[in-house]
């Protein structure tokens, strides 16, 4: 069995955010140092917020004056009518201006929010491609994509609430306290402040509890999604083993757990709304009763009742949303923190500072006393040393678990050896840039995974900027051009998810053509024909031999018949080089290679006899 990296994924069960540290880390995206236009937009949006809030705070004065003009002048004089009408029109104009300022604010700020979201998403995506193979083998794709999706979607909403709800509410609360103090004294001010503090405390306490429920929902949602994605990606395997009911049961279990958590979360929302309503309505009732009492004593007017009611209504309209705002901001911080954790994941394989590019004159490959394992408790390669001369065809064989595919991963520098060196043309690959290293290497793997796009796109993927002529030339070199020409859409034919619309041989030829477009000096065939039938295998082998011309090729093989004509054959056993030589030399030694050859020959004879 092929050695694989251990599953060391950490899926936290108690995701938390770092509060202001997370916000502080996001601020450079909101206030980009290199984009003056976006910074001007932020300042413009803030000006619109202040103008809108000033307009809103002036409205109750106009409302009060209009009511007083109507109630104090019992004779309904023309002057009173004019005054009342003027304040009514001013009130209507102020309401329109408030709406206009709010929408202009949104228009000005929209570009800022979208650019901040885009830049952060691009940074996360770029970081994911820089993380090691170990990370991608350990993490489920569905969970990672869900973290990115939730993180990016939360940013714009969170910014809106922070800048256009929380900040204006604080401004309005401060202004209302001053206005109440100047017009009605400290009694109403104290009641308002007490009610707001109680409202905020109750909202925060219950929302903290709800956040724990929400985090559990996120975990269960990610689990359900990952099970669904995993099952659909393995659609054929599910069908092979008639496991539809098992997969449905696994998904139903995850979906049921998510539904239970969602019910608890929604029920807690009802409790929060009731608690908020009690506080708000107690204050409203008390404040208005106090105003009515003042009117009965002649100290206050009917306009004062409208004045107090309007201010409290305006104040508690955004406070009514405080629970949702707090949850949204807190959840946004959690989602952003999870996304920043992806960015902060250590890069296992990194270029050394000022690393030079790989320069190849003679594409030779050397493993010099390489020691490596995916886990420190289990060493895979034990001081492995061998050399692949420039322009030669070398094969690597051995029993399952000998470390053959590990060599491919090390050569592409998906991992770094614990000890020893890997050299290409005498240059240590740990000291050069990974981009230049992988530009010099091509690979045709056992399972050639294709993008869900066209055949032309998948072939051209070998090199950025490859034109139609190069794609067609590579297809001819891989002996797949005639097949493509027979297709109704030619190079525009869709290959399906992971290339499932193509046969195994067709996928391998597309992979070979992709490598030909790349045109690397060193090509690695990692058991490229082991999953194919004998006839297709022979056709692919002929293509591979043509590709090997004027290149250094390394073939990792299980079936020995496919590499018998190699210049040199390296035989591995338990991570050590035990034999090497040509096919005939190794047979004469009567060692492990000869034993493997005899066993495979016997198995082939038994298959032939059974067929007859």
Query: Residue 409's Cα: distance from chain center in Å?
Result: 24
Query: Residue 611's Cα: distance from chain center in Å?
Result: 51
Q: Closest Cα to residue 367, out of 570, 564, 528?
A: 570
CB 370 within 8 A of CB 420: yes
Torsion angle, CA of 108/111/112/114, rounded to 10 degrees? 140
The confidence score (pLDDT) of residue 388 equals 92
Tokens of 388: 């692949």
The confidence score (pLDDT) of residue 76 equals 60
The confidence score (pLDDT) of residue 609 equals 52
Tens-digit pLDDT profile for residues 467-508: 899 999 888 888 888 889 998 899 998 888 767 788 877 888
Question: How far is residue 319's CA from residue 495's CA, in Å, rounded to a whole number?
Answer: 54
Question: How far is residue 190's CA from residue 436's CA, in Å, rounded to a whole number?
Answer: 70
Q: What percent of the chain lies above the pLDDT cut of 70?
A: 89
pLDDT band (50, 70, 90) for residue 357 = very high
Question: How far is residue 492's CA from residue 546's CA, in Å, rounded to a whole number?
Answer: 26
**pTM to 2 decimal places:** 0.62
Q: Residue 12: is its pLDDT beyond 50?
A: no
pLDDT band (50, 70, 90) for residue 220 = confident
Q: Residue 16: is its pLDDT beyond 70?
A: no
* Mean pLDDT (whole number) for 142-157: 73
Tens-digit pLDDT profile for residues 188-210: 888 888 988 898 888 888 877 87
pLDDT band (50, 70, 90) for residue 442 = confident
Q: Residue 270: is its pLDDT beyond 60?
A: yes
pLDDT band (50, 70, 90) for residue 70 = confident
Q: Residue 459: is its pLDDT beyond 80?
A: yes
In this structure, the chain runs to a length of 612
The confidence score (pLDDT) of residue 1 equals 37
Q: Residue 53: is its pLDDT beyond 90?
A: no
The confidence score (pLDDT) of residue 75 equals 53
Tokens of 314: 């305006």
More confident of the two residues 252 and 6: 252
The confidence score (pLDDT) of residue 568 equals 93
The confidence score (pLDDT) of residue 611 equals 47
Q: Give the distance between the most distant pair of CA atoms in the chain.
A: 126
Range of 113-127, 192-206, 385-399 with top mean pLDDT: 385-399
- CATH of 20-344 given 3.90.1300.10, 1.20.1560.10, 3.30.420.40, 3.40.50.12780: 1.20.1560.10
Q: Residue 365: is its pLDDT beyond 90?
A: yes
Question: How far is residue 237's CA from residue 85's CA, in Å, rounded to a whole number?
Answer: 77
Q: Residue 43: is its pLDDT beyond 80?
A: yes
Tens-digit pLDDT profile for residues 401-436: 788 888 988 998 988 999 999 999 999 999 999 889
In sequence order, which residues have a C-beta less than 8 Å from that of residue 99 and are 6 or more positions away? none
* Mean pLDDT (whole number) for 260-288: 83
Is 370 strand, coil or helix? strand
Torsion angle, CA of 490/495/500/501, rounded to 10 degrees? -40
- CATH of 365-611 given 3.30.70.3270, 3.10.310.30, 3.40.50.300, 3.90.25.10: 3.40.50.300
CB 334 within 8 A of CB 20: no
pLDDT band (50, 70, 90) for residue 437 = very high
The confidence score (pLDDT) of residue 323 equals 65
More confident of the two residues 553 and 86: 553
CB 394 within 8 A of CB 318: no
All CATH 1.20.1560.10 domain ranges in the chain, comma separated: 20-344
Secondary structure in 3-state letters for 403-471: CHHHHHHHHCCCCCCCEEEEEECCEEHHHCCHHHHHHCEEEECCCCCCCCCEHHHHHHCCCCCCCHHHH
Quickly count: other Cβ atoms within 10 Å of residue 599's Cβ. 11
* Mean pLDDT (whole number) for 337-363: 84
Mean confidence (pLDDT) of the chain: 81
Q: Residue 15: is its pLDDT beyond 70?
A: no
Tokens of 404: 């053959």
All CATH 3.40.50.300 domain ranges in the chain, comma separated: 365-611
Q: Closest Cα to residue 89, out of 59, 117, 119?
A: 59
């Amino acid at each position: 069995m092929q050695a694989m990296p251990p599953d060391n994924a950490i899926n936290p069960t108690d995701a938390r955010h770092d509060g202001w540290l997370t916000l502080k880390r996001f601020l450079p995206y909101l206030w980009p140092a290199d984009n003056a236009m976006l910074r001007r937009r932020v300042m413009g949006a803030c000006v619109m917020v202040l103008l809108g809030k000033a307009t809103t705070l002036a409205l109750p004065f106009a409302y009060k004056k209009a009511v007083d003009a109507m109630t104090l002048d019992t004779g309904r004089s023309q002057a009173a009518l004019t005054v009342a009408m003027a304040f009514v029109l001013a009130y209507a104009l102020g309401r329109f201006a408030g709406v206009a300022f709010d929408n202009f604010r949104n228009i000005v700020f929209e570009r800022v929010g979208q650019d901040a979201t885009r830049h952060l998403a691009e940074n996360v995506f770029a970081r994911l491609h820089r993380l090691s193979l170990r990370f991608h083998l350990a993490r489920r794709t569905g969970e990672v994509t869900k973290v990115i999706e939730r993180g990016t979607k939360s940013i714009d909403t969170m910014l809106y609430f922070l800048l256009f709800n929380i900040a204006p509410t604080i401004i309005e609360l401060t202004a209302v306290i001053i206005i109440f103090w100047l017009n009605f004294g400290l009694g109403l001010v104290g009641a308002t402040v007490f009610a707001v503090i109680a409202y905020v405390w109750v909202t925060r306490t219950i929302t903290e509890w709800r956040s724990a429920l929400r985090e559990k929902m996120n975990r269960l949602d990610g689990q359900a999604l990952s099970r669904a994605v995993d099952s659909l990606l393995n659609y054929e395997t599910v069908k092979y083993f008639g496991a539809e009911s098992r997969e449905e049961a696994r998904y139903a279990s995850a979906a049921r757990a998510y539904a239970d958590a969602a019910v608890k979360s929604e029920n807690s929302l009802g409790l929060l709304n009731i608690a908020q309503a009690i506080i708000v309505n107690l204050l409203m009732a008390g404040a208005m009763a106090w105003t009515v009492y003042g009117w009965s004593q002649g100290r206050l007017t009917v306009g004062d009742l409208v004045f107090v009611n309007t201010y409290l209504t305006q104040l508690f309209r955004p406070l009514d949303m405080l629970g949702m705002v707090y949850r949204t901001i807190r959840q946004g911080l959690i989602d952003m923190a999870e996304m920043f954790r992806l960015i902060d994941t250590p890069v296992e394989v990194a270029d050394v500072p000022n690393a030079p590019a790989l320069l190849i004159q003679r594409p030779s490959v050397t493993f010099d006393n390489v020691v490596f394992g995916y886990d420190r408790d289990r060493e895979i390669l034990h001081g492995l040393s061998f050399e692949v001369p420039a322009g030669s065809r070398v094969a690597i064989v051995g029993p399952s678990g000998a470390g053959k595919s590990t060599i491919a991963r090390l050569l592409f520098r998906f991992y770094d050896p614990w000890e020893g060196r890997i050299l290409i043309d005498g240059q240590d690959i740990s000291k050069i840039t990974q981009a230049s290293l992988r530009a010099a290497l091509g690979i045709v793997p056992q399972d050639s995974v294709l993008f869900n796009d066209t055949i032309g796109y998948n072939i051209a993927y070998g090199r950025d900027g490859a034109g139609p002529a190069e794609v067609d030339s590579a297809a001819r070199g891989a002996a797949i051009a005639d097949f493509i020409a027979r297709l109704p859409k030619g190079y525009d034919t869709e290959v399906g998810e992971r290339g499932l619309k193509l046969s195994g041989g067709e996928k391998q030829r597309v992979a070979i053509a992709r490598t030909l477009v790349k045109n690397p000096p060193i090509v690695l065939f990692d058991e490229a024909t082991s999953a194919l039938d004998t006839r297709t295998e022979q056709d692919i082998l002929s293509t591979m031999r043509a590709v090997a011309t004027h290149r250094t090729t390394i073939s990792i093989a299980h079936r020995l018949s496919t590499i018998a004509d190699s210049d040199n054959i390296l035989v591995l056993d338990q991570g050590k080089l035990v034999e090497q030589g040509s096919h005939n030399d190794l047979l004469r030694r009567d060692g492990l290679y000869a034993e493997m050859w005899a066993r495979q020959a016997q198995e082939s004879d038994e298959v032939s006899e059974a067929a007859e």
